[in-house]
Amino acid sequence: MREPAKDKGRLDHILECINNIFEFVEGKTFEQIEGDKMCYFAIVYQLVIIGEAANMLTKEFREARPQTPWREIVSMRNFIVHGYNVVDKNEVWSVIQDDLVPLKLQIESYLEELTKSEESK
């Protein structure tokens, strides 16, 4: 069961995974990531965790924050898990380059919002 009290922890997991990905790719090109199986699959695994954590957020939390593409995040997780043999490395790189910074900013904002809400109780 999805519990509102666990939303903050799930957001923490998403943020941790994003930070891990940035650490893994720091100073590396697409070609270097593509050629390093361990690094590439570590990134893919982090994307799976991001999608799973997003999926486990409460419906109320996600619906109150429609600016985040929750459905796309969860869909990517599902595609990686179920279509593991056809995952496009270019698409993974595109997510890293184009989508993770905005997502990180949103997640940080949500965590700040939840922390302030907890402090005011």
Among all residues, which ones are annotated catalytic?
Answer: 77, 82
User: How many other C-beta atoms are found inside a 10 Å radius of the C-beta of residue 16?
Assistant: 15
The DSSP secondary-structure symbol of 67 reads: T
CB count, 10 Å around CB of 10?
20
DSSP line for 15-40: HHHHHHHHHHHTT--HHHHHH-HHHH
For residue 27, CA distances in Å to 21, 38, 64, 101 come to 12, 16, 36, 16
Q: Which two tokens stand for residue 8?
A: 């903050």
Residue type, 10: R
